[in-house]
Amino acid sequence: MEKTRTLCSIKHDIEGHIGEKVTLKANGGRRKVLINNGTLESVYPSIFVVRLDNDTQRTVSFSYSDVLTKTVQLVFAG
């Protein structure tokens, strides 16, 4: 039950930053850490979407459990 509260609080915190610039640190596997800059585009019940600031304007999505397990770390610029 407490895990649900934690996921809800993570979702609520992320919802407050829609449209803001974010630095994304993601675990790429085999001790690789991928660091990208982007904009938090949208928030859904199970996932959130970040549009990367690369040449291709690619979007990536992650679940709130990725933040909970520290597979993904978000740093908001603001």
Q: Which pLDDT tens digit goes with each residue over 41-60?
A: 999 999 999 999 987 789 99
Tell me: pLDDT of 67 over 70.
yes
pLDDT band of 77, cuts 50, 70, 90 = confident
Domains by residue range for the chain, with CATH: 2-76 (2.30.30.100)
At position 18, the amino acid (one-letter code) is I
User: Which residues touch 43 (CB under 8 Å, ≥6 apart)?
Assistant: 11, 14, 15, 18, 49
Edge-first strand order for the sheet with 32-43 is 59-63, 47-52, 32-43, 21-29, 72-76
pLDDT tens for 12-30 read 999 999 999 999 999 988 9
Helix, strand or coil, per DSSP, at residue 29: strand
C-beta separation of 40 from 14 below 8 A: yes
Provide the mean pLDDT of the chain: 90
The reported pLDDT for the residue numbered 56 is 76
pTM: 0.87
